[in-house]
Chains A and B, each alone.
Chain A
Amino acid sequence: GESVGLHLPTLSVQEGDNSIINCAYSNSASDYFIWYKQESGKGPQFIIDIRSNMDKRQGQRVTVLLNKTVKHLSLQIAATQPGDSAVYFCAVSNYGQNFVFGPGTRLSVLP
């Protein structure tokens, strides 16, 4: 099966700095990866995804990096803003079937 973990349960950054949130997975057959953002009292919202045939994908202020060799995934947020404060989850799946979620990292943006 798949297990997904994160290196840090909490992360505090200064407003305007860059944030990096990490995720590790166990199943080398996993081929689809998504980062979700969850604000208090809400369901998770899609941020960005990446497939195993890519190493990097960029969105608006966000970049996802995938290192299949060490089974590691990261989310980079540029110029972090107060509205970025939330819990961030990585989700990992095989052929888009059952998604396994990591435990989450709570990002706090300091003024």
Chain B
Amino acid sequence: GAGVSQSPSNKVTEKGKDVELRCDPISGHTALYWYRQSLGQGLEFLIYFQGNSAPDKSGLPSDRFSAERTGGSVSTLTIQRTQQEDSAVYLCASSQQGANTGELFFGEGSRLTVL
């Protein structure tokens, strides 16, 4: 499809393990965002990539969280030494910066459960 694709859709891991979440944005979109959504809560900004500029990492909650975006396309969010409070849905969104709308297109999310 032509939408934002995220994998895995569900991930269950043990406390202390590392996890990687992947996001494939819409082709041609230069901006990519990661948000975290805890159960019944709003969207918490994590990190924002725009083209070749340095990413805005101001939302990452701790140094256990990191993200990369290779070749201006696919992004990977890595959480090291996972904790139970990391359990949430991790949402990725992309947008075509420079377009009139700037609308964010979201993926379905990756649900992370840390036992």
Contacts and interface: CB of A to CB of B under 8 A. Distances in A.
A3 to B, nearest CB: 11
Interface string B17-53: 0000000000000000101000001111100101000
B81 to A, nearest CB: 27
Contacts, number: 57
B56 A98 contact: yes
Contacts of B48: 97-98
Interface string B97-115: 1000111111111000000
Contacts of A102: 42
Contacts of A36: 104, 106
B108 A96 contact: no
A25 interface: no
A49 B35 CA distance: 20
Interface of A: 32, 34, 36, 41-46, 49, 89, 91, 93, 96-104
20 contacts: A34-B104, A36-B106, A41-B108, A42-B109, A43-B107, A44-B43, A44-B106, A46-B104, A46-B105, A49-B102, A49-B103, A89-B42, A89-B43, A91-B43, A91-B104, A97-B48, A98-B56, A98-B58, A100-B45, A103-B42
Interface of B: 4, 33, 35, 41-45, 48, 50, 56, 58-59, 91, 93, 95, 97, 101-109
